[in-house]
Chain A
Amino acid sequence: MSIPLVPLENILFLPMEEFTRTVTGKLRSGGRAAVFFAMPEAGAFRLVMAIAFDLEGRLEFLSTAAAGSFPSLTPELPQLHLFEREIYELTGLKPEGHPWLKPVRFTGAAARPGVAEFFRVHGSEVHEVAVGPVHAGVIEPGHFRFQCYGEKVFQLEIALGYQHRGVERRLAAGPDARGIHYAETLAGDTTAGHAWAYCETIETLCGAAVPARAQVLRAIMLELERLANHTGDLGALSGDVAYLPTASFCGRLRGDFLNMTALLCGNRFGRNMFRPGGVNFDLDAALVKELKARLDAAFRDAENAVALLWKTNSVVDRFDATGLLLADAARGLGLVGPVARACGIPLDTRRNFPFGPYHDFTLSASGRGDVYARAYVRWAEMQKSAQLVDAWLDALPGGPVAAECGPLRPGSAAVSLIEGWRGQICHAAVTDDAGRFRYYKVVDPSFRNWVGLAMALRNGEISDFPLCNKSFNLSYCGHDL
């Protein structure tokens, strides 16, 4: 069951005041903003919001018209803060009353990424620590500004935008043969997630029915991606606390999971597997057997390596109560993914909006929002992923692996929600009268979650920052697009 497409004329259009009131009401009573964007229309703009009711598994669309400015909803609903800043940056529509109107991606002609007014804690005894954009490791660029007194951090502010490539604009020029490649590479380690979201958007718009075998193969790709990245994360976390055994083993094991992805499609990161309508490559019986054997071996090794983490007191002590993120903050800011689940929030697209072969999925949510919880949730998800892939490989449905995709339905909107390994990925597309894309919006889970890292560091120790950053492990490219 994917989210059905919505003809544009069916999207509820409200005048601005009523829009504000309705949105506030819905978001306060169990809704969560899946996407909020401003589409150019008739000289002005049309604000469109898709509200996800996670516990009921349905999506509602609302829209209104705006020109010049619109009343900001952020003071009442903080989860919309970054969407409104993005709208301002992309279109110039000013959200009146926004408490934190700063650039998101520094896309202006004269803008220098990262150079902005940062929040200051006044006082001669406070100093600032500026980290980045160039980091001392193979990490993407981003700027972190700490307001510190000695080792204590009062406030952390994050400025990104160094990797802005204009992906949304290029996707909106489609659909064409390049679209899938833009989707695959917009966040290089989330190829399966974004590619699936892109393909599902197109399939929803053209009404194609993806065959069951292709759905399962897609899910196997997604779960292998999750396994590889979570293994890498756990290894990196132990590397950051100087616990060498797990760091070394997980480093190798991540490679093993990536090689399994390569077994399926020839590319360790899963490029060139997804296509609108299905997948490009199939598994034969020999490959299935090989994949199962490799998965079992790698998972057993991962089990041993990760078990060391929970058994070593010094590691647990280091992870425990570090980088606390309160559940209220996570909910209020609309965080998603393992970060939210580690605060105990039961948010998982595979459960809330089942897609592909995910039926009756049991999500893993536990912990009180510290580094330990975020690490443990990753381990729980790894176990679940391995189980799922094993079960699917045992019972692969027969049939073709791709279906034909016809032309896109004109004048419609489609939203696809996929649970990438970082959290909920949302692609929203609107078609024009010719059946081409009129507008394309991508929301990577990192777009929502970066602010969570800033909250987690408040009143923390600055030496805990690298560990917290690693426990979130957010994508800079996914945010910058």
Chain B
Amino acid sequence: MEIIKPLIQYLAVIILSPLLLGLINRVKAKFAGRRGQPLLQLYFDLYKLSYKTPVYSRTTTWLFRAGPVIGLSAILCALAALPFAGRPGFLAFDGDFIFLIYLLGLGRFFTVLAALDTGSSFEGMGASREVQFAVFSEPAFFLALAALSKATGKLSLSGMFLALEPASWQAAAPALLLLTAALFIILLAENSRVPVDDPNTHLELTMIHEVMVLDHSGPDLAYILYGAALKLWFFGALIASAVLPRHSGSWLYDGAAFLGMMAVIAAAIGTVESVMARLRMIKVQYLLMGALVFSILALLFQTGR
């Protein structure tokens, strides 16, 4: 079993993911006519937070302290199984994407419980919204992957992305376009981006994800912010792998192209955030159902051939 290449890939992901958020913020700043935060701002924040002494609410229990640890572990484990530039990660087996989605669910469960642990109505509100949107985004996610599985005939993520070639795009363009669109909408929802949520807002009553972690501080908050950056990479990597069919055999060349694509996706997210307002909270359900419909259509288009 190969160790070196997956290890380098994994390290690259772990080190580079906070850069994505920096890129998105820079793109948004450009649209707003500002210079923007430094690209490496999240790294500085993580360092600062790691060595701060946290404050814990007297209402909280072990769950509050465990939540960030389990959330970050879940996404780190998921990244170990995620393909990089079409190459498999450490773990690759039939059905690994099911495991990955449920790992995200594990992170969600403990984040929600940690939020409810504080006994604050703000965080309960955020938790309620988070679980509500999961009911719509998970079917969309599964069906998008089902469409991809049908298009490539494989059952593991790396298998699917390895089997995607420029020819497959020509043959199954509508299905692949639809499922990419569905995955992009799910990315915006799962990572609390406009139009689902505004990551820069200070208004607790409108937040979903940020308000769930309102009472966290110190290393816990560092874990949460880092986990959020990794989660953004996770979804971005799925889209990048779907959009960039592998062609050359060179690991370095494909890796560089993949990283370039991730930067393009970050820029796309920044652009979407800058040109539209966020949706009313009730309308987010309909956006996610739209993603579900895209996935179903993608699957049906594939069935037709």
A residues touching B (Cβ–Cβ < 8 Å)? Answer: 127-131, 136-137, 148, 150-151, 238, 240-245, 247-249, 252, 312, 314-315, 317-318, 322, 461-466
Contact = CB atoms under 8 A, between A and B. Distances in A.
A241 B278 CA distance: 6
Contacts, number: 83
- Which 3 pairs show the lowest CB-CB distances between chains A and B? A248-B32, A242-B198, A466-B203
Contact of B277 (A148, A243, A466): A243
Interface residues of B, number: 30
Contacts of B200: 242
A242 B205 contact: no
A466 B274 contact: no
Contacts of A461: 280-282
29 contacts: A137-B202, A150-B128, A151-B125, A240-B203, A242-B195, A242-B273, A242-B277, A243-B277, A244-B31, A247-B32, A249-B33, A312-B276, A312-B277, A314-B195, A314-B277, A314-B278, A314-B279, A315-B277, A317-B277, A317-B279, A318-B277, A318-B278, A461-B282, A462-B205, A463-B205, A463-B206, A463-B280, A466-B203, A466-B205
Contacts of B280: 317-318, 322, 461, 463-464
A129 B125 contact: yes
B129 to A, nearest CB: 8
Given A128-B121, A317-B279, A318-B278, 16 more contacts: A129-B122, A136-B202, A148-B121, A150-B128, A151-B125, A242-B195, A242-B198, A243-B276, A244-B28, A244-B32, A244-B274, A245-B275, A248-B32, A312-B275, A463-B280, A464-B280
Report which residue of A241, A317, A318 has the largest number of chain B beta carbons within 10 angstroms of its beta carbon.
A241
A375 to B, nearest CB: 12
B279 to A, nearest CB: 7
Contacts of B195: 242, 314
A138 to B, nearest CB: 9
Contacts of A318: 277-280
B204 interface: yes
A282 B121 CA distance: 54
A57 B198 CA distance: 47
B257 to A, nearest CB: 30
Nearest to B207: A463
B32 A136 contact: no
B276 A245 contact: no
B287 to A, nearest CB: 11
A136 B202 CA distance: 6
B194 interface: yes
A275 to B, nearest CB: 39
A248 B125 CA distance: 29
Contacts of B34: 248
Contacts of B32: 244-245, 247-248
B201 interface: yes
Report which residue of B32, B122, B205, B276 has the largest number of chain A beta carbons within 10 angstroms of its beta carbon.
B205
Nearest to B204: A136
Contacts of B206: 240, 463, 466
A128 B125 CA distance: 11
B239 to A, nearest CB: 22
B36 to A, nearest CB: 11
Nearest to A320: B280
Contact of B31 (A148, A245, A317): A245
A148 B205 CA distance: 12
A161 B241 CA distance: 57
A343 B63 CA distance: 49
Given A242-B194, A248-B34, A461-B281, A130 B121 contact: yes
A129 B204 CA distance: 11
A252 to B, nearest CB: 8
Nearest to A151: B281
Nearest to B282: A461
A317 B282 CA distance: 12
Contacts of A248: 32-34
B205 A245 contact: no
Interface string B16-59: 00000000000010011110000000000000000000000000
B189 to A, nearest CB: 14
Contacts of B205: 129, 131, 462-463, 465-466
Contacts of B122: 129
B142 to A, nearest CB: 27
Nearest to A465: B205
Contacts of A465: 205
Contacts of A466: 203, 205-206
A127 B121 contact: yes
A148 B125 CA distance: 11
A463 B28 CA distance: 24
A464 B205 CA distance: 8
B123 to A, nearest CB: 11
Given A129-B121, A462-B125, A244 B281 contact: no
A433 B126 CA distance: 62
Given A245-B274, A249-B33, A131 B282 contact: no
B203 to A, nearest CB: 4
Nearest to A469: B203
Interface in B246-281: 273-281
A376 B124 CA distance: 35
Contacts of B279: 314, 317-318
A399 to B, nearest CB: 43
A139 B114 CA distance: 29
